[in-house]
Amino acid sequence: MWYVIQTLTGREEELVCMVRRILPEDIYTDCFVAYYERIWRKRQQSLVHVERLFPGYVFILTDDPDEVYRCLKDVPSMSRLVSDGMFTFLPLEEGEEAFFLKMLDEDHIVRLSYVEKDGRGNVFRITGPLRQYADHVRRYQYKKRYVLVGIPLLGREKTAVLGIILKEDVRQELLYGKIEAPLAPRRVYRVEDPGRGERFAVGECVTVTAGELSGMRGVIWKVKKNTVEIGVRLFDRDMPMEVSVESVCRAG
């Protein structure tokens, strides 16, 4: 199971090193800090930063939480945090584990997601970590290249910032800026080609934004090259309607 250790902001990696030094390898699987990529603009240049996703939180995977807690509590510096009420050790729920498993890569980083808009400013294509969780987005901030996302954590929804990349960013060289994660120094960010691919997937809920069906919601039944077939509820039955991909957006 996944557990969260809460510690002092800025001391997360120090705690990870302590865990790896103190705990026997057979009582835990992994211990890490979660990070995310985000684009910052500085002097008319785009820089990719790698920052802590949840400052003050460390994740640990273990099937023996009692022994992990006992070992950490016996360390003087951790003992002080416990006595001061600044050390918590709480399990994630099954759905929360699944969320992080899909969002984090092998370096425990949520990478940039590619977001594309149509001519009306509606999102009609997402690739990357956000693709499966577009319904978790609470707000898009295109100019600042991030979205506000509702992330399930410890039994409640926690709002977090995740980085996005737009079409104009793919066409230019992006450099790294601040990197808080323990990664080897890098200079140039490798922009993944989003490819053409399917802009929508069968089963997704969408809203029609143009034409006679504007404002109606439906579920995608088929995805074609430039159109999608959606099932729209009319006269107490689901009717198939084919519309342009630029005439629909994901239902919020």
**Tally of domains within the chain:** 2
Specify the higher pLDDT residue, 91 or 73: 91
Residues 12-50 have pLDDT tens digits of 998 899 889 989 999 999 999 999 999 998 777 789 999
The model carries a pTM of 0.75
- Over residues 216-225, the mean pLDDT reads 82
Using alpha carbons, list the distances in angstroms from residue 57 to 30, 51, 63: 14, 13, 19
Q: What pLDDT sits at residue 111?
A: 94
118 and 54 in a single domain? The answer is: yes
Q: Is residue 213 part of a domain?
A: yes
Q: What pLDDT sits at residue 32?
A: 96
Around 217, how many Cα atoms within 13 Å sit in the side-chain half-sphere?
Answer: 6
Q: Give the Cα separation of 103 and 111 in Å (integer).
A: 8
Assess whether pLDDT exceeds 80 at residue 130.
yes
Q: What pLDDT sits at residue 76?
A: 65
Residues 48-74 have pLDDT tens digits of 999 999 998 999 999 998 888 888 877
175 and 70 in a single domain? The answer is: yes
Q: What pLDDT sits at residue 198?
A: 46
Average pLDDT, the chain: 84
227 and 140 in a single domain? The answer is: no
Q: What pLDDT sits at residue 79?
A: 56
Assess whether pLDDT exceeds 80 at residue 211.
no
Specify the higher pLDDT residue, 217 or 119: 217
Q: How many CB atoms lie within 10 A of CB 113?
A: 23
Query: What's at 151, amino acid-wise?
Result: I
List, edge to edge, every strand of the sheet that includes 88-91.
30-32, 57-61, 2-6, 88-91
Give the pLDDT band (50/70/90) at residue 197.
very low
Whether residue 149 contacts residue 75, with contact meaning beta carbons closer than 8 Å, is answered with no
Specify the higher pLDDT residue, 111 or 194: 111
Q: What pLDDT sits at residue 86?
A: 58
94 and 170 in a single domain? The answer is: yes
Buried b (16+ CB within 10 A) or exposed e, 66-97: eebbebbeebeebeebeeeeebebeebeeebb
97 and 149 in a single domain? The answer is: yes
Q: Is residue 195 part of a domain?
A: no
Helix, strand or coil for residue 93? coil
User: Can you give the residue range of the structural domain that contains 219?
Assistant: 205-250
Assess whether pLDDT exceeds 70 at residue 80.
no
User: Considering only 1-10, 59-68, 188-197, 241-250, which range has the smallest mean pLDDT?
Assistant: 188-197
134 and 213 in a single domain? The answer is: no
239 and 144 in a single domain? The answer is: no
Pairing of strands 227-234, 137-141: unpaired
Cα angle for residues 217, 223, 225 (degrees, 5° grid): 125
